[in-house]
Chains A and B, each alone.
Chain A
Amino acid sequence: MTLRNSPGFRTIVAYEAKRTWRSFLPFSIIAASIILYLLAPALSTGDYGELGFQSPSLSRHGDLVQVVPLLGVLLGAYSAWETQRDRRTQTEEIMLGWPVQAWQWSLARSITLASVTAAVFLSLAIPSAIHTAISYATAVGSNGSWVAYAVKDAGTISVDLMASLLGSQAIGEIAGYIFSGISAIVLVILYRLAVLVGPGIIMGTMQWPYPLLVSPDLIASNYWVPYSEAFGLVPHEELFLTHRLFWLAGSLCAIAALSVLGCYRRDARGKLPILAFGAIVLLAIGSAIPFIRHENRIVEAQQNALAAFGQPVKPKLVVGEDGHVDTGNASSFEDAGRALPLGYKIVADFSSPPNARISATVTLKSEASVSELDFTLRRVFKVDGVELNGHPIPADNLRREGDILVIVSDRAFTIGEVITVTITYSGKVEDWRLDPYERPVAIARRGMLVVPATWGWYPVPGRHELTWEIPLTSLVYRHLEDRARPFGDAEPLFDVTLIPPQGISAVAGFVPRNESVGSTGTNARGEAVWMLNGRRQQVSLLGGNWAAYRQEGIEYLVPVQCLDTWESCSKSFRELVKTATEWIGLDSAIVVPYSFADPQFIDAGLFGPIYYGGSDWTVLYRAMVRWIWNIHRFGLRRDQNAGNADAAYQYLFSSHVVDYVISQIARQSGVEEAVDPSEGYDDEAPLNELEQRFREWTRKTPVQEQKQVLRRLFAAARQRPLLAEDFQFLQRGVK
């Protein structure tokens, strides 16, 4: 008798459903799931709770999965209880005398239980999907594409929820079949407790469907790592989805197998169900192989990285109250002065992810009569070739010493000689790690490219110590320092050509490069090509994919993953940017939801800050202020040979003008109380004549006029060292 030709099966399902749904228990579990869904934001550690109707769907779900195990306990216990219901109540004593195959009852009961599971799932998935859709639909700049993003996120969430809940049902059914009465429920609870609070290995080994299927990195963050570490950096989407789908399939198979192998004493267990069960076990083990291999790859990569990195050198980071940063030995500079970099021409080809092939041509001015040139280039890169002044260097003349590449010339360079070195190197992007145990800091894959600012991916003259970074602490200062120290006073110009992976429609700070007639932004192979001409600070974050749009005169580049929260997240921020634009002029801003807990340490590339997509605008404002300060510190041109007059004006600008502008921005954007704009500066110090003049000018000059004048001043400061004549307005002011 098969399911199809069994006349009573639908009736069995209908009556079993009637029995199940006439109890208050399913409704209690559904009510609990709704309550937990509503409470999840309050239990979360995220700061999106104040964002109103918008919220980051995956982060929100990340909070929800913290409480889903509670539902899993409820659902598992309920499944165990229901599975043994007829046995417990001795209802089966009569029903087993009816001409129905026992497996039909088992299956009908499982289907009925699945209807409860489905209801719980829908009570979570529907509001989540609606929330996701609303967040994306109301995102600024969203057009038709938001549907795809919403569907993708909602789908990911749904798969995860369904896998978890069906897994709970399967575990409950297993417990219900094995044990009777309360002991089955106790088993489910103990199992869940072990999974929740046990050490990682237990968490890994006890998750359905059996130990082999779970890769440790998948459970490292309480098993929710689809887009962890915010902007990817852990490209586990496929693995995550594979795991969840397998979990889903495994649970379904288990439920089906239980139906056939159910512990009914009445019907014979034929060979077919046993064979089917064996096949399921073998399939489960077989399907685990990719996960095991992935895990092995991670372990192997860590071991390789450990061998490559050697012992860690911890950075000594000190952030002064005035915002000054001392990175200590974060990047030592041992032999500055041998050669001064004048310019870079970099072609970074990420078109075949995860591999990158980079060609960097560095123009240097020799400052010492030496025959060896040292470059610091991360050891993960394999140097494929080096040319010196257009001539290939034999391999014998190249030496790798950890992160150092030594190029030996046939002759000693003369002081002042301009040298051109082209280094071609390649490597796997995922190997770019800050330390052996840390996850990759870079991603190259279809539709996504994240290469953080940490230098080392392009050669820097000299011997520098590439330290291990303490995760999530001082990256921004490291970036800033790393871009400043190795170059000393040199200001090399960068010409960067980037061929990102397919599927990237915008790259932060880059513009499409036209290489051939009739082709816009593509090369002969049809690949998108992007270019950037700028200074070292601009070669910060090679990133995409961004949703680019212009709003209130500012061009925003928002990672597509952040679109759903952009509207809510950026409301205050946009006001801040708008005000800042009025005062100092801004070309663009890039908003990236970094995972840093403290946005004070966000990156601060000159093309714009990277802002945390959170709601703590006090912190955001501090970051904004610091960004402006960093513009002054690293972005503005200073003339080392400036005369006294120019130097005095440059000092005036860097201290009082910037300070004043920050205070004005704070006041006008409504966050004045958030931070003391003069933070870090000594207000009690006596003012010199120039400072008094500036203060007087600000008092007498209308605000609109001040804005115009200062915008010009800031624009000039970004182009060249400020001169005394740039401050003519002060002369007028004091007259």
Chain B
Amino acid sequence: MEIRIEDLVFRYGKRTALDGVNLTLNEGVTGLLGPNGAGKSTLMKILATLLRHRHGKVYVNGWELPCDGQYVRQNLGYLPQVFGFPENLTGREYLLYAAAMKGAPESQVDMLLDEVGLLNVGDRAIRTYSGGMKQRLGIAQALLGDPRLLIVDEPTSGLDPEQRSRFRYLLTQRRTDRITLFSTHVVADLEQTADRVAVMHQGKIRFFGTLKELAECAGGQVWVFRRTPSTPPLTGAYVVSERFQDGDIVARVISRTKPTLDAVSVSPTAEEGYLVLLGNSGIQSSEREGGSERR
């Protein structure tokens, strides 16, 4: 199973959403990171066959999109970022509907309801569900039929910590023999599930690699030091976090240079790598474009 994207361009009118995306995905969980408007959802919709592109090539396991969309959909589990449900169906009915459409066995319905914690409310009308419950129902329908291509667009938004943990477990359970594309703003979710991560910005892939490699983007630029509360804030450094400890403030910052004399260089996290990568810290990293970092 492989997804190959070549020079993909997609425009909404005059606005360019994807600007020459090149990416190759293999089996495993791929996290998709990027700020709002980076083009993550557009890319996912194209892969999920909901949008038809005109420029560039997209192959899913050899099938070319959009013309072979029907074949792709037969192997697809998709959860969009924003979606709705037929609210006068029950959760179980909806999943049975989805199972029938996907050709999945009905036995999967109760199993998935159980896995997402909705078994007890499966016979309630969806309109009575909370936002989190609907999100879980969406996840369940995406997992129906054991799809070989699973695309989930910010699936953890609206989930409480326990459910997020459960979702991550569901994902890691299904990481083999399939491609999972998982977009999120929560880097911590990726740290526990993703084998690779792609960072998008302004319609381009800015990074594609492991989380460790992402973290390395901020290598030698993350510092920790103590300061008194009366000390004025630093300038020229991006403060990642500050916490009180023994009457002092322990600050973690991103900076190209050593911010204070007692600052100690520490290992960066993937989130810090991401911040450096996108320049949000005010500090640009040398970009590691997907083209050079394809796996």
Residues of A at under 8 Å CB distance from B?
A: 1, 7-8, 11-12, 15, 18-19, 22-23, 86, 89-91, 93-101, 265-268
Contacts and interface: CB of A to CB of B under 8 A. Distances in A.
Contact of B52 (A7, A89, A94, A266): A266
Interface stretch (B65-73, B217-225, B236-244): B65-73
Given A98-B102, A266-B52, A11 B69 contact: no
Given A19-B89, A94-B80, 9 more contacts: A8-B100, A15-B89, A18-B93, A89-B86, A90-B80, A94-B78, A94-B141, A97-B49, A99-B101
A266 B98 CA distance: 18
Nearest to B70: A99
A566 B73 CA distance: 66
A11 B52 contact: no
Contacts of B97: 11, 15
Nearest to A100: B101
B74 interface: yes
B101 A12 contact: yes
B112 to A, nearest CB: 14
Interface residues of B, number: 33
Nearest to B94: A15
A626 B102 CA distance: 80
A268 B98 contact: no
30 contacts: A15-B89, A15-B93, A15-B97, A22-B88, A22-B89, A23-B88, A86-B84, A89-B85, A89-B86, A90-B82, A91-B83, A91-B84, A91-B86, A93-B83, A93-B84, A94-B78, A94-B79, A94-B83, A94-B98, A94-B141, A96-B50, A99-B70, A99-B74, A99-B76, A99-B102, A100-B73, A101-B70, A265-B51, A266-B51, A268-B66
Nearest to A10: B100
Nearest to A15: B97
B60 interface: no
B101 A11 contact: yes
Contact of A266 (B49, B67, B100, B102): B49
Given A19-B88, A98-B73, A99-B73, A90 B83 contact: yes
Interface of B: 48-52, 66-67, 69-70, 73-74, 76-80, 82-89, 93, 97-98, 100-103, 138, 141
B175 to A, nearest CB: 20
Contacts of A23: 88
Contacts of B69: 266-267
B180 to A, nearest CB: 15
Contacts of B87: 89
Nearest to A21: B88
Contacts of B66: 268
A679 to B, nearest CB: 68
Nearest to A90: B84
Contacts of B89: 15, 18-19, 22
A94 B138 contact: yes
A260 B182 CA distance: 33
A11 B101 CA distance: 8
Given A18-B93, A23-B88, A266-B69, A93 B101 contact: no
Contacts of B101: 8, 11-12, 95, 98-100
A97 B76 contact: yes
B182 to A, nearest CB: 15
Nearest to A23: B88
Nearest to B88: A22
Among A15, A22, A94, A95, max chain B CB count under 10 A is at: A94
B86 A97 contact: no
A6 to B, nearest CB: 11
A8 B141 CA distance: 17
B138 to A, nearest CB: 7
Please give me the 10 A-B residue pairs with the lowest Cβ-Cβ distance, nearest first.
Answer: A97-B78, A89-B84, A99-B73, A22-B88, A90-B84, A98-B101, A93-B83, A99-B74, A93-B80, A91-B84
A266 B45 CA distance: 10
Contacts of A96: 48-50
